[in-house]
Amino acid sequence: MQVRDAMSKQVLLVGPEHTLRQAASMMATRRVGSAVVIDPDAQGIGIMTERDVLYAIGGNLDPDTETVGDHITWDVVYAGPDWTLEDAALAMSRGGFRHLVVLEGTEVVGVVSVRDIMRVWAADHERV
């Protein structure tokens, strides 16, 4: 199985100027654990996850004034849609993260999460 078989193609995109509350609200509405951040004035494509929001709020930061731009993870590992799910799982395990932004060339085509991989693997094992 490949990443394209498990990834979510409906990617939540947010800008660095969104507040943490706005981003968290959009993530909750879409029931996703991450948002891809595209900042044309910075380092390109980053990601903000539910964990970033948790750490900020747990650190007593105000979600109504803190912006996504201050909580972006820029050190992102990108997957290709033709990666195997095993390769994606290994990258996540080695990096200690739960989401991979999927790029085809320079275009964001999806996000794959640990939950996505588990869903596909579980469904595959049910058929056996």
Per-residue pLDDT tens digits for 14-69 = 999 999 999 999 999 999 999 999 877 776 789 999 999 999 999 999 999 999 99
Q: What is the pLDDT of residues 67-85, one digit of tens each?
A: 999 998 888 889 999 999 9
Q: Which residues contact 49 (CB under 8 A, 6 or more apart)?
A: 33, 34, 35, 73, 97, 98, 99
Joined tokens for residue 90: 């290994």
Domain assignment of residue 91, given as a range? 3-126
**pLDDT at residue 128 above 60?**
no
pLDDT at 99 over 90: yes
**pLDDT beyond 90 at 124:** no
127 — pLDDT class (breaks 50, 70, 90)? low
Q: What CA–CA distances, in Å, run from 120 to 1, 73, 112?
A: 9, 26, 11
Overall domain count for the chain: 1
Query: Which of the pair, 91 or 106, is modelled with greater confidence?
Result: 91
CATH assignment at residue 35: 3.10.580.10
pTM: 0.87
